[in-house]
A and B are shown apart, each in its own frame.
Chain A
Amino acid sequence: MGRRLLLEHDAVPGIETFDVYRKNGGYRSVEKALKTMSPQEVVEQVQLAGLRGRGGAGFPTGMKWSFLAKPEGVPRYLLCNADESEPGTFKDRYLMEKLPHLLIEGMITSSYALGCNLSFIYIRGEYMWILEILEKAIAEAYAKGFLGKNILGSGFDLDLRVAPGGGAYICGEETALIESLEGKRGNPRIKPPFPAVKGLWGCPTVVNNVESLAAVVPIVNDGGEEYAKIGIGKSTGTKLISACGNLARPGVYEIEMGMTVEEFIYGDDWCRGIANGKKLKAFVPGGSSVPILPHYLVTKTAAGDDRIMSYEGLSEGGFASGSMLGSGGFIVFDEDQCIVRNTWNFARFYAHESCGQCSPCREGTAWMEKVLHRLENGQGYMHDIDLLAEINKKIEGNTICPLGDAAAWPVAAAIRHFRDEFEWHVNQPIESQKRNFGLASVPTLV
């Protein structure tokens, strides 16, 4: 097992209460930051740490913070994005359920760094029980003087609220989140202006993922340089991975960036291989939005090197033979799974979750869903496969927000790597309803 910076104490009984959390070293980062560091110094530590956003895009958090506009007399807001709705991703849920105080601590320290006096946790509507856990923990933090006026006598005030959404995936997109928090329909905004300049109620705003904010705690405690020593290259620190699908031991794991995919899937400390002794067919390493890869590109890259769990490692090979770390929703498929069915299932999700504002996504996602549904049910034509490839090219890059791309990539990748299986569904419509295609054949490399 590697080092665990976030989930170190997740198994301690009562860790969701203030007292137990505090006894296990909790809230040290707040004391350290508020008493010994200037806000700017906290930002610098996060920059030194090389922390990259854990919400999916991997944008450097320190850089995002440094972009925050700071006009005189205008409040600034920090919003925690806990809308986690990407299929396959459930790491934030685990973190908030087990360690609500870790998130609160991260938010206090981060709000201090950014000069925010009112911060929000925007939580997915289906996570109602977590909302209760968080509110209980926040009440404790208020009672102990870690929230409210003049925290620890430092003169820094912070109010923290939890706001539930209505359960829309699109409200995880940062500007849709802001709209929703303002009480409007959760449609993404047209950018520019970016939230760092004009966000919540027209004020400068930073939106960060739950895990990104939690990671600020070890960064402040140990220093950015220490944090940056973990990991590989530009992927520093640890990452929560929610492993699911046909694994012998699915669950939420904290890994040090840089371990191999092979060890993660097959290692005894980790997922312990494919369930029921089956063969691995494909995997999606970063939530439903990222490209799917066939078995021969899972543990090795196209160049034959070990595939590494890191931002760069998983995207090695680009779109041709790589994928992305994304949000860490690690989905594994065994030989009995149907790629066409799975692609349809993902497409159905995006068609359902598109906000419907911009034409390429509104029409394109629904169109792809219908074509895939026909293919899956043995009513597809050969030209449908090319049509799908065309549609997703026409959505990609032409939309307001990245949901359009997120809907297009999985379909493009499925066709790229599993075209045989799609064609088999067209050629063997009856057979394809009865059994599965099996593994993709390995293309001969020239």
Chain B
Amino acid sequence: MTRFVNESVLELRRAVERERLAAALAELDRRGPIEVPTVIGGERRFAPGFDSVDPGDPGRVVARANATTPAEVATAVAGAAAAAGDWRATPAEERAAILARAAGELRRRRYELAALAVRECAKPWAEADADVCEAIDFLEYYGWRAVELEAGPELIQLPGERNTLHYRGRGVAAVIAPWNFPLAIPIGMSAAALATGNPVCLKPAEQSPACALALYEALEAAGLPAGVLSLLPGEGEVGAELVGHPDVQTIAFTGSGAVGLEIIRRAAAVAPGQRHLKRTVVEMGGKNAIIVDADADLDDVVPAVLASAFGFAGQKCSAASRLLVHERVADHLRERLEGALETMLVGQAEDFGTDVPPLIEAASRQRAEEIVAAAAAGGGELARVEAMPDGEGFFFAPTLVFGAPPEARVITEEIFGPVLSVEPVAGVEEACERVDAQAHALTGGIFTRNPRTVAAVAARTPVGNLYVNRGTTGAMVGRQPFGGNRLSGNGTKAGGPDYLLHFVDPVAVTENTVRHGLAP
């Protein structure tokens, strides 16, 4: 198998690519709402249950999805358990070939899929396209890594014994996915499980069922055996059913902290008759800070901070939501940030000029508004984008908050919206202390031109991904293994060499090779 290379993002600076994407979106719109069935054992069941809508125009239904019932969840898990043996016995090379073919399917449909992410999740084009690429990357990367893993690591060998260590798929994996990377994250968690020989029950976010259906179709077209993957659209209770099911072995989840903790708690319970411990691979949120030292190049800081805090309206777990600035440059940076904030264009995801798209749903907007209002009431000063688009979309003005009190929610809670708290600090040391005081430890940034400062921050930061002199988002498969520490989760590192270990059980075999005192 060839060495892995990341899928190339589209060169959007070329007009022809933009035209192709716009055409794909027009075609998608022309086709009307997509019907998303529950698929179990290759069998589709559909009745209109719930809808996903365009966050920029909530009157527009993007998909009508079947609402999976608890009984269907049970059927799906039973089917998966039945398929587990054969799938585990399939050589990793063959499983990887199926995943690679699925990647090819996504590649073939990349314009259409990017358009779908634009419509269903209001992901701006560049990020929607990057989502497609990351989905392709996960399929190819995990397939390749699983082949490598199958050989097992080297062990110490002494005369008269042969030691081997093998990794084996654990059994049914429940994948509970978010909407913010509607293609990459569900396929990433699923591909990791599938590549290592686990059947998957996929429960996509209720906001993005159509994206999930496209993923299912790609794997189906690639020749994945019918029982090995089921698609279970639905609301939270579908996930809860999966988590509680005694035949589920592994639960891969990416989403909010509250749900993540609940999953870990419930997964710890052993049901009567259950003969295994459930494993959780849980990726929760972040509260990510960028530190700006006095020697930083502010020309670089401003655009990187804006992109990290406001890209996709801050709806990434890697998004920056705190800026800790050396007091010597704090005033100057504030002035430039406020000016630069005014250049942020809030608009529809489908407009190539849009910097900040709408939020995913009304509740997100409501919550972000409350947090900003509380910060202002607590003495924080606000700078906000004034010009807002018309219409019913869930638009939210990108906001800078200066001088919020330390206990304010804007400083302590993950917001998942375009809000950035800017806080002067006496120096990098103090900034590190503030980061250290947080419960989350996902991503972090440091802008400095002193290599010693970089080394010092890297040595003490609790975060899982530290970015130096660049933005904090956009981790690439195979290049920036992604995932955090502390309350950010136990599911690291997606897209890295260790991730697959979450989905396997290690088995060591030791054979005595001595016969009659001889070791042939």
Q: Do A and B come from one complex?
A: no
